[in-house]
Structure 1
């Protein structure tokens, strides 16, 4: 979680989440991976859902990881990536 910018990185009492891939969209440039907490994926109980877990783009050419966002639909970030605007993780 800390690699993705945990909101409470210094909080020793924060819950430990097990992340799981919940969806993968394939594109000509690579893949977009969506993820969430395993507890949410298994129960659909929003008490266990992560907040701000933006999908990750994996480039087919170099397997680089790139962040997206949550403020806009994923299509916006996919088009940014296609146009050369990239945010490496």
Structure 2
């Protein structure tokens, strides 16, 4: 089992593999873990619309395993969380 601090460390490490520098912008907790949203550092620092990411899906870090699961972008995060908790999402990525 991991705590929030470990989940945040894993989230930041996961995002280090991005093609462009990105930063966690928001997160939330639910019974099975945490979800994280992110955006490009350039957009966050400058507000330049052309630097904004598109299709940057939030991801979940499981509280028990620490595994990372990508969510989608066509539904609200809450819907993906319900699906995740019901076991309907694919395999984790670490």
- The bucket for the TM-score relative to the shorter chain is 0.7 to 0.9
Give the match for residue 73 of structure 1.
76
Q: Say which of 42, 45, 55 aligns to 1:42.
A: 45
Give the match for residue 23 of structure 1.
26
Give the match for residue 32 of structure 1.
35
- Which one has the largest radius of gyration? 1
Deviating more after overlay: 42-51 vs 28-37: 42-51
Q: RCO greater where, 1 or 2, for CA within 8 Å and sep 6 or more?
A: 2
Cα RMSD for the two superposed structures:
1.8
Aligned length: 77
Q: TM-score, normalised by structure 1?
A: 0.77
Q: TM-score, normalised by structure 2?
A: 0.73
Which consecutive unaligned segments of at least 5 residues does structure 2 have? 1-14
Moved over 6 A (4+): none
